[in-house]
Chains A and B, each alone.
Chain A
Amino acid sequence: EDQVTQSPEALRLQEGESSSLNCSYTVSGLRGLFWYRQDPGKGPEFLFTLYSAGEEKEKERLKATLTKKESFLHITAPKPEDSATYLCAVQAVETSGSRLTFGEGTQLTVNP
Chain B
Amino acid sequence: DAGITQSPRHKVTETGTPVTLRCHQTENHRYMYWYRQDPGHGLRLIHYSYGVKDTDKGEVSDGYSVSRSKTEDFLLTLESATSSQTSVYFCAISESYEGDTQYFGPGTRLTVL
A interface with B by C-beta (< 8 Å): 4, 31-32, 34, 36, 41-46, 49, 51, 87, 89, 91, 96-100, 102-105
Contacts and interface: CB of A to CB of B under 8 A. Distances in A.
Contact of B104 (A4, A41, A44, A97): A44
Contacts of B57: 97
A97 B47 CA distance: 8
Contact of B42 (A34, A98, A103): A103
Given A31-B99, A100-B43, 15 more contacts: A4-B42, A31-B98, A32-B99, A42-B106, A42-B107, A44-B104, A46-B102, A97-B58, A98-B31, A98-B48, A98-B98, A98-B100, A99-B48, A100-B45, A104-B41
Contacts of A45: 104
Contacts of A98: 31, 33, 48, 94, 97-98, 100, 102
A46 B101 contact: yes
B79 interface: no
Chain B interface size, as a band, is 20 to 34
Nearest to B104: A43
Nearest to B4: A43
B90 A43 contact: yes
Given A96-B56, A97-B45, A103-B42, A43 B107 contact: yes
A90 to B, nearest CB: 11
B103 interface: yes
A102 B107 contact: no
Contacts of B42: 4, 87, 102-105
Contacts of B98: 31, 98
Nearest to A97: B48
A51 B45 contact: no
A104 B101 CA distance: 19
Given A49-B99, A98-B94, A89 B58 contact: no
B59 interface: yes
Nearest to A48: B101
Nearest to B91: A43
A46 B90 CA distance: 14
